[in-house]
Structure 1
């Protein structure tokens, strides 16, 4: 019998030995392909097993509030009072999430509107199987830590971020979305801030996101954390708080904190005027401890002051607390504008670095006075302090926004007679991909009773100082 011939071309014949080897190789290759399709998982399928299938790896659209799920830690003792704080910032038409309690509260006539103006209530899972050995903390820290896995288990669609906070954490939703939008939500991120108090950071960690300030975890990281959280919590019965437990488990996953200075733990007491007036050039995202600090506006309750503050945040959220400094050579004044909150008039020419340092109007949270902040002394003599004007009103005037600040109290008998300051500006849209840059400010006109200024973008090489 003749050897079989493989016809590669009409005029060439392959020897039989090579032909057999070729045929066997083809057969082996076909078997390999078949087994690979069965035994080796598809790479995309493997990725999507730990990632939301409706979230692209590269952001195709800007992150908005619809992409964020909130987990709010509360208790049956505090929720009835603190829900009024949450009601001010919660937007039921665009936000999703849950407030976690030990048990469902009894309904009362005042709760009839809660279902449409507040987040839904969820009952936390049983944590009796977990040990808690810290001598000064509360066992509820375990329940609050498990809020992460229980929020993921709500199984919302179109999620990019999970955000966690307390019932006395005041969120600024638009700025939260703006801040998170600069990160790739398809990657692992743990975003938040540490404490203003050095001692708190020393005890817990300078790299831990404090839970009262709120923190954000990207979807793929949150889903992995939820799977390993319970066995991880069992290794930390000695830890004080819930945020310490989350930090410990994320650290075991090898994830480090991405610091965002717009989150504020507010581990201070008393008057936080100095901190708010010196806010960094980043969007204001949160502040905490509403019951431990004084109302942010004089002659108001805490709730009234927050309602007043939201007038400005609704009209120009990204500009809130953004600081601009004007210099008026004619009157020899330095004018410091913390937009939507306060304007301070300082006699003379004060260099910008000295203006920007936070005045220590607040008290320490604990026994030790150290603060993890760059502060300056708050003079005990009111006549030596800047003249303070507080936010009064804001309105839109075509393309410009006009904010008005009025003096609420006299510092001393010999101060200036100016009683109103008007500031013109355009709605701010920060480019979060660029290094933050402070905007410039001009005094348009000044008189014995009022000052008018305008905030604008600085020129390419413009310096902020008193011009001769």
Structure 2
């Protein structure tokens, strides 16, 4: 039987449609099965600005090289104990030789500190900086000697001094922004303009700590000794590392969470106005005043780690809100301090760093010694116009809510008026654990004074701001 021509065309179209649908279904099933067999850890996520394996970077992917010496290590190893996690971290503390009480040091090292390594001989290298220390060459070679440890599954090498306090979770969060398979040199400058002008604005200062991605570190270690031959005139170890990386064509990626702290005295102003980035490191912990009063430097940092253990990402993140009833401006630097001004301030006026510290260079005649690389504001000459400061006392959690308590610091001698924040004795801050979304630009959080605030206690809650919400005085 013969069908009309139009009917033949209809049958052919129907067959083709069935074939297309069946083929598409088979392809989708095959694709889903392939993804299931490969597993999520092998899938590559591609974005316009970022390429990385979906398996997240963890502290196990980082190897540390810590520069020290036989004289300073017994005094400073307690600072490393604060942040070192012996069963999760890898790396070495490099000494020129073992301390006199080497047996006790080794026993301590095995339990709660990084292993101890003895640096190689550097006598063949020249050092010509007049009045400088030859140990700069030994410390510089910590980079190549750490790579030579041949750890497996390494993504990043991180270097710092024995008086550098790292915040490991924040370090990992920061490094996760970058593709570890590419060449990266990540760190920060000094806070002092003069220091940067002398040593370079593109150098990662070694005390603050810096990170080098695995493939770059492997190449650097191969050529590093030849670089040391060309730069006997440089002052420090970090200058030699920077010079060799510059010869490889690599420049510094600036991350403001690393802190060199070339400052003296009370660094409260800097800590209370931290950038909107995770706090990664603090250097020169012995050169500044203890960050909490009536404590030793070590005890003060140990106290700070009480907050670190609850919410590392939120540490020092500054939030500003306004009390409408009393016309107060409230600045919360989570885990460290709450400041209350007895008047309203525009938000841009509340953000710059208060000049509570002294310059690094003791030669006060040098005009550049007190020029800083960030915006500052002078502490008000009238003590009663200065903020009332409440310092972190304790941190606890219940379910997903974290409560931090701040007690008033009685450091100022001022006769308060009736509506002064000096009548307050305690601030209670409620928040949820902050999990920073690193690929996105950070945004300051909002805060509210709760209606339950009364008498000598104020309660504040921290939260994400609404999409179009502004932080301003009403």
- TM-score band by shorter chain is 0.7 to 0.9
Residue deviations 1:423-445 (CA, integer Å, cap 9, x gap)? 11000000111111000111113
Other-structure match for 1:358? 353
Which residue of the other structure, out of 78, 82, 90, is the alignment partner of 1:88?
Answer: 82
- Find out whether 1:464 has 2:466 as its counterpart: no
Other-structure match for 1:422? 428
- Find out whether 1:177 has 2:182 as its counterpart: no
**Against the structure 1 CA distance between its residues 263 and 410, is the aligned structure 2 distance closer, same or farther, given a 3 Å change threshold?**
closer
SS across alignment from 1:403 = strand
**Against the structure 1 CA distance between its residues 189 and 398, is the aligned structure 2 distance closer, same or farther, given a 3 Å change threshold?**
same
- Once the two structures are TM-superposed, the CA of residue 116 in structure 1 deviates from its matched residue by 1.3
Other-structure match for 1:301? 296
> Distance between the aligned counterparts of 1:400 and 1:351, measured in 2?
30
SS across alignment from 1:77 = coil
Which residue of the other structure, out of 181, 193, 200, is the alignment partner of 1:205?
Answer: 200
- Find out whether 1:432 has 2:438 as its counterpart: yes
5 Å-filtered alignment, 1:245-324, equals 245-324=240-319
> Distance between the aligned counterparts of 2:408 and 2:383, measured in 1?
14
- Once the two structures are TM-superposed, the CA of residue 380 in structure 1 deviates from its matched residue by 3.9
- Find out whether 1:452 has 2:440 as its counterpart: no
> Distance between the aligned counterparts of 1:140 and 1:395, measured in 2?
44
Structure 2 contact 56–176 (Cα < 8 Å) conserved? yes
SS across alignment from 1:234 = helix
> Distance between the aligned counterparts of 1:264 and 1:282, measured in 2?
12
- Find out whether 1:78 has 2:72 as its counterpart: yes
5 Å-filtered alignment, 1:13-412, equals 58-106=52-100, 107-109=102-104, 112-366=107-361, 367=363, 368-409=369-410, 411=412, 412=414
> Distance between the aligned counterparts of 1:337 and 1:195, measured in 2?
25
Other-structure match for 2:449? 443
> Distance between the aligned counterparts of 1:299 and 1:340, measured in 2?
18
Aligned residues: 411
Structure 2 contact 63–89 (Cα < 8 Å) conserved? yes
- Once the two structures are TM-superposed, the CA of residue 355 in structure 1 deviates from its matched residue by 0.5
**Against the structure 1 CA distance between its residues 295 and 103, is the aligned structure 2 distance closer, same or farther, given a 3 Å change threshold?**
same
> Distance between the aligned counterparts of 1:350 and 1:267, measured in 2?
29
- Once the two structures are TM-superposed, the CA of residue 110 in structure 1 deviates from its matched residue by 6.6
- Once the two structures are TM-superposed, the CA of residue 373 in structure 1 deviates from its matched residue by 1.6
**Against the structure 1 CA distance between its residues 116 and 358, is the aligned structure 2 distance closer, same or farther, given a 3 Å change threshold?**
same
Structure 1 contact 392–404 (Cα < 8 Å) conserved? yes
> Distance between the aligned counterparts of 2:450 and 2:320, measured in 1?
13
Other-structure match for 1:32? none
Residue deviations 1:203-235 (CA, integer Å, cap 9, x gap)? 011111000000000000000000000001100
Residue deviations 1:359-381 (CA, integer Å, cap 9, x gap)? 00010001322111210001243
- Once the two structures are TM-superposed, the CA of residue 252 in structure 1 deviates from its matched residue by 0.3
Gaps of 5+ in 2: 1-50, 364-368
SS across alignment from 1:165 = strand
- Once the two structures are TM-superposed, the CA of residue 111 in structure 1 deviates from its matched residue by 5.5
Structure 2 contact 161–206 (Cα < 8 Å) conserved? yes
Gaps of 5+ in 1: 1-56
> Distance between the aligned counterparts of 2:373 and 2:436, measured in 1?
27
> Distance between the aligned counterparts of 1:408 and 1:324, measured in 2?
20
Q: TM-score, normalised by structure 2?
A: 0.85
Other-structure match for 1:5? none
Q: TM-score, normalised by structure 1?
A: 0.86
Structure 1 contact 136–240 (Cα < 8 Å) conserved? no
Other-structure match for 1:14? none
> Distance between the aligned counterparts of 1:331 and 1:379, measured in 2?
20
For the aligned residue pairs, the C-alpha RMSD in angstroms reads 1.2
Structure 2 contact 342–385 (Cα < 8 Å) conserved? no
SS across alignment from 2:309 = helix
- Once the two structures are TM-superposed, the CA of residue 136 in structure 1 deviates from its matched residue by 2.6
> Distance between the aligned counterparts of 1:462 and 1:308, measured in 2?
34
> Distance between the aligned counterparts of 2:245 and 2:152, measured in 1?
24
Residue deviations 1:42-78 (CA, integer Å, cap 9, x gap)? xxxxxxxxxxxxxxx8423111100000000001110
